[in-house]
A and B are shown apart, each in its own frame.
Chain A
Amino acid sequence: MVKKPKEITPVKAVLIYSIALVLVVFSELPRVLSWVEETRCKLVSGQMFDSIGTNQLKLVSKTSAPAEETDQARNDPSSQADPEEMEAAQPVVNGCPAAQGADQQVALSESSGAGDVEIPVVQSEQQANGQATSTPGTSSPKLKPHKVLLVGDSMIAEGFGPALQRWLSKHTSLEVIRKGQYSTGFVHQEDFNWAITLKELIREDKPDLIVIHMGTNDPIDILDDSGKRLYFGNDKWTEVYASRVREFLKFASEKKILSFWVGLPIMCSNKYCTKIILINSIVEQECAKVSGCVYVDSWSALADSKGNYSAFIKRPGGRQTRIRAKDNVHLTEAGGEILSEYFLRAARGYIDLGAEDENAAQH
């Protein structure tokens, strides 16, 4: 006898859905709890409605025009400002410390002790501009890398990462490996641990140069191993975050691989700006403690002439070009190209990429 299929009424259908949802929640409890935690943090920090409420319809910049294409000097990270002048004058626009035109400098890590990676010390503006072929003050030649590893979060997966890969790929002697993982950082290590991943990448790919760019997902509270909440920005949070960054950089340093950590650029939202500044400062300090790591301050690389956030830049020829994605965090490819050029100018005192291949794909 053929069994008659059971009839499903709407109420039974909803009951099936309810049972399924409950079972899914129990089987994916860690993920669900993580979601609950994230939602709670967003509600508490107001972040859930922040970008929607304030950014919908507004004049982006107080000036009536977006950023003009700036001249070489303004974007040249090698021009060194007087540190005292830098500290004294920190104009704050809309709660976000504005970058200054002439104050970019590359933070130098400190070599400490025997067995460290020897890094050429930038002695003069001329040298930093790459005009000198030797590096006075040190006997170390520039590193001639053969394999470059780019690692980071979504900032490497799109925008800066692909643009830098395209720049570097022009040098046919260079092999470039890019690993950008969305929604990662140093706060949520249970899903993805960058220290372990970097170790595996180094063992597998054996790079001689690493470029790091990440931190956008980290301005949130940390739940430590005992489940205790460490609030973002307080001393304990800073201590734990710094130790994770240090752990991440340790293996590369032990292997004597030269690493560049490109700091995050200026952001749009005031609240987020403040958080990213803290992230950048922690990273900068840790880079200075670890040998073989150079921190590149890129806060102003995508700012306008007044040091403010700008989503657009005016290219030669007059066309406005979007350099920041609509979420006001990520970079477009045009923004990535600008940041790549900025980084490569900063790095040329340390590395020699060799000649470009004329037949390589042009931008």
Chain B
Amino acid sequence: MSLISFEFALFLLTVLWLNWALRSRRTAYRAFLLTANALFYASQSTGLLLLPLGVGMSNYLFALLVSRTKGNTLRKVWLGADIILNLGFLAFFKYFEFLYQSLDSVLAPLGLNLHLPFIELYFPIGISFFIFQGISYCIDVYRDPKGLIRNPVDVLLFVSFFPTILAGPIMRAGQFVPQLDKPDYDSRSFHDAFALILSGLFKKLVLSSYLSEHIVRDVFQVPAAYSSVTVLLGVYSYSIQIYCDFSGYSDMAIGIAQLLGFRLPANFRMPYGVCNVQEFWHHWHISFSTWLRDYLYIPLGGSKKGRLRKYANLMATMAIGGLWHGPHSRFLLWGTLHGIALALTHAAKDIRQTWFAAGTDTKSGAGPPVSAWAPAFKAGAWFLTFNLVSFLWVFFQAEDTARAMEVFQAVFAFKTKGMGFEFWVLPAVAAGFLIQFVGPYAQDLFCKIQQRMPIPLQGAFLALLCVLIMKLGPSGVPPFIYFQF
């Protein structure tokens, strides 16, 4: 069941009542939450329910071995085994079909015509997210054995937590597990939670769905049929669509978790208001980029092994991050290009820092001189960053690399002939862009209004806003983009 389906609304009603009825009972609460997680995941893929539970259990066992083993070499072996096992699961489900498709084309030129059986695998939704979450727990225990969680059920709950299992935010065990016994909330938490859920619904049902249906899908399917302006608008629309889709889901997940008494980290923070790619990755899918930083970039050496090694580590990290999205060359290209952009950003900053340190008096503690042109430079930097990010998103939506090139060709052909776009696409794009800035104020206003109403009126106000959003949205249940990863 999708987070925006009626069956989920009913499921959540039941879970909320039981959650707060059992919160103070340690064992009963854990049993209930595990059951709720299992039911939710089973509604997505019944037969693969054992997978997140298996991942949780394997990480628990390996973390236990890591914490109890004395020798460092053997600890590394256990950690390595855990990572290989988990990534093995991920690779099997995600890359099996790619390998199967490629194998024949590799073997055929060698004169080998193998007729291999094909296994139709049902793709477990959220696998990339809960496997990364599981691995992070084992690595954390390796780094600090005091982080070991003694109760295996807690680890299972951490890996399979239903609001986040499908598309994050990717949590850390140290953040989540303590909240099982000590729910984190205050009087404003629940209003914030409702505000986040409404925000998520609006972004997904109204903005993302509209843009997908009215411009993005058609333009990316047949870019040559559209004028260059329409294709360009399609590119920007997809930027807004993926932001609204993904941040909308994150808002809902965080809001639902908050209703259950769990405080989760923010996953998006005005990502399209930044002025360089480095800042972008501090504001976009924050839980994923910090995971890459902590578990890939830093183990590779981070910035500690010199500048050139830093740039190489950045590119490698982003390339692997691209591959995480799927076994397609377009994702690898997307990640690599982001890595190059990131490395160039760091290089520019390093050069500027070196130049400034050489040319000025550092003892005074003064910063670099502020130019009168700074606002113009900043606007220019924002424009370049937004366009770079938007054009790189083309690789995400396009069917393949060749189609992405078609989209670019269609934009830079400056063609006036071709189909245009519907008027309402423009305000939808503008709304999607502005909501990242206006959203926090709107949430604050909602909370203030709610706090002054009696309980029944709060329920009615919440219902009114829900119905308005549903009226503006499509009929049916639109899928989330990031579920495919």
| Bound together | yes
Please indicate the chain B residues that have their CB under 8 angstroms from the CB of A28 in the complex.
Answer: 467, 470
**Chain B contacts for A22, CB-based, 8 A:** 463
- The distance in angstroms between the C-alpha atoms of A326 and B102, with both chains bound, is 18
Contact A20 B462 (CB under 8 A): yes
Q: Taking the complex as formed, is A103 at the interface, i.e. its CB lies under 8 A from any CB of chain B?
A: no
Stretch in contact with the other chain, from A89-97, A157-165, A270-278, A286-294: A157-165
State the total of A-B contacts with C-beta under 8 angstroms: 183
Interface set, chain B 288-302, CB cutoff 8 A to A: none
Size bin of chain B's contact surface: 35 or more
Residue of A8, A53, A182, A360 near B187 (CB, 8 A) is: A8
Instruction: Tell whether, in the assembled complex, residue B460 and residue A19 are in contact, meaning their CB atoms are under 8 Å apart.
Output: yes
- A-chain residues with CB within 8 Å of residue B448 when the two chains form the complex: 5
**1/0 contact trace for B444-483 toward A, CB 8 Å?**
0000100111111011101110110010000110000000
In the bound complex, do residue A52 and residue B45 qualify as a contact, i.e. CB atoms below 8 Å apart? yes
Within the complex, which residue of A16, A56, A58, A319 is in contact with B101, where a contact is CB–CB below 8 Å? A319
Which listed residue (B121, B221, B452) contacts A57, Cβ 8 A? B121
Contact B222 A56 (CB under 8 A): no
Known: A5-B451, A27-B467. A21 touches B218 (CB 8 A): no
B14-63 residues with Cβ-Cβ distance < 8 A to A are: 16-17, 20, 23, 45-48
Q: Which of B190, B222, B448, B452 has the most CB of A within 10 A?
A: B222
Also in contact, A31 and B475, with CB within 8 A (given A57-B120, A59-B118): yes
Residue of A at shortest CB range from B100?
A320
Which of B104-112, B132-140, B431-439 sits within the interface? B104-112
Cβ distance B423 to chain A, nearest Cβ, rounded Å: 16
Residues of A close to B453: CB separation below 8 A: 6
Most chain-B CB neighbours within 10 Å: which of A22, A39, A56, A311? A56
B104 near A60: Cβ-Cβ < 8 Å: no
* Residue interface mask B86-126, A partner, CB < 8 A = 1: 00000000000100111011011100000111111111000
At the interface, yes or no: B429 with Cβ under 8 Å from chain A?
no
> Inside 8 A of A191's CB, which chain B residues have their CB?
475
**Distance of A63 Cα from B60 Cα, bound (Å):** 42
Q: Does B310 contact A (CB under 8 A)?
A: no
| Contact residues in B for A178 (Cβ distance below 8 Å) | 218, 222
Chain A binder among B5-13, B77-85, B381-389? B5-13
Distance to closest chain A CB from B319 (angstroms): 24
In the complex, B259 has a CB within 8 A of chain A: yes
Inter-chain CA distance A23–B183, complex, in Å, is 29
B455 contacts A12, CB within 8 Å? yes
**Interface residue? A234 (CB, 8 A):** no
Given A52-B47, A65-B115, A165-B222, residue A16 in contact with residue B455 (CB < 8 A): yes
Q: Give the CA-CA distance A194 to B273 in the complex, in Å.
A: 43
State whether the Cβ of A74 lies closer than 8 Å to any Cβ in chain B. Answer: no
Please indicate the chain B residues that have their CB under 8 angstroms from the CB of A23 in the complex. 459-460, 463-464, 467
Q: Name 9 extra pairs, CB < 8 A, besides A16-B458, A56-B120, A311-B120.
A: A6-B452, A13-B259, A64-B115, A158-B221, A166-B224, A169-B224, A320-B118, A333-B399, A361-B409
- Residues of A that sit less than 8 Å from B by CB: 3, 5-24, 27-28, 31-32, 35, 39, 49, 52-53, 55-61, 63-66, 157-158, 161-162, 165-166, 169, 176, 178, 182-183, 191-192, 311-312, 314, 317-322, 326, 333, 360-361
* Chain B contact residues, CB within 8 Å of chain A: 6-7, 9-10, 12-13, 16-17, 20, 23, 45-48, 97, 100-102, 104-105, 107-109, 115-123, 183, 185, 187-188, 190-191, 193-194, 217-218, 221-225, 259, 261, 399, 406, 409, 448, 451-456, 458-460, 462-464, 466-467, 470, 475-476
